[in-house]
């Protein structure tokens, strides 16, 4: 039966009267929140114009916009390899004591640090974590290491 309240039709709650299993409330109740930022430590570090070395930083998850906007950048249109520089400049939210991380900062990083950041970006955006499987070169023991720079023994 439909009721009218101030000219608005109100339908009865059919699920309340129906037999069957009860439904859990919508939404995650026992899940952890989505992690969107990841700490990292560069292998070498970015050296600014004053000679200060910046090694620790934060990278956030990329959005579709982050991946699309570089395609409109003239530098990327001239050289597709520049996509990485522009993209990393968008998703690195902090690096040491720098006020901002731009593509100019990424341009002046050591190649080994850019390679590290590319791998880090791929891991957090495709795999959702920063762990890698490694093995000891001496004893061949296999274990997991965290690229985010966590201290030994932490998870």
The tens-digit pLDDT sequence of the chain (155 residues) is 444 444 444 444 444 444 444 445 555 556 778 889 999 999 999 999 999 999 999 999 999 999 999 999 999 999 998 999 999 999 999 999 999 999 999 999 999 999 999 999 999 998 765 566 667 888 877 766 666 554 434 43
Q: Which domain holds residue 130?
A: 37-146
Q: How many CB atoms lie within 10 A of CB 117?
A: 23
Query: How many structural domains is the chain composed of?
Result: 1
Does a structural domain hold residue 27?
no
Confidence (pLDDT) at 37: 93
| Residue 43 within a domain | yes
Q: Are residues 54 and 48 in contact, defined by beta-carbon separation less than 8 angstroms?
A: yes
For residue 126, being part of any structural domain is answered with yes
110 in any annotated domain: yes
50, part of any domain: yes
Is residue 55 in a domain? yes
What are the distances in angstroms from CA 94 to CA 68, 84, 89, 107? 22, 17, 10, 16
Separation CA 140–CA 58 (nearest Å)? 32
Evaluate whether residue 56 is within a structural domain. yes
Q: What is the pTM of this model?
A: 0.64
**85 in any annotated domain:** yes
């Amino acid at each position: 039966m439909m009721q009218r309240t101030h000219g608005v039709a109100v339908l009865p709650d059919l699920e309340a009267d129906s037999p069957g299993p009860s439904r859990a409330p919508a939404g995650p109740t026992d899940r952890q929140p989505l992690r969107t930022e990841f700490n990292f430590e560069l292998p070498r570090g970015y050296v600014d114009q004053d000679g200060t070395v910046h090694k620790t930083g934060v990278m956030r998850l990329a959005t579709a916009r982050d991946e699309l906007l570089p395609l409109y950048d003239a530098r990327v249109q001239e050289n597709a390899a520049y996509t990485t520089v522009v993209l990393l400049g968008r998703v690195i939210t902090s690096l040491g004591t720098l006020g901002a991380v731009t593509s100019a900062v990424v341009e002046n990083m050591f190649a080994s640090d850019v390679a590290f950041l590319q791998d880090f970006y791929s891991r957090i955006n495709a795999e959702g974590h920063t762990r890698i499987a490694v093995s000891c070169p001496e004893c061949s023991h296999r274990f997991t290491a965290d690229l985010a720079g966590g201290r030994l023994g932490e998870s």
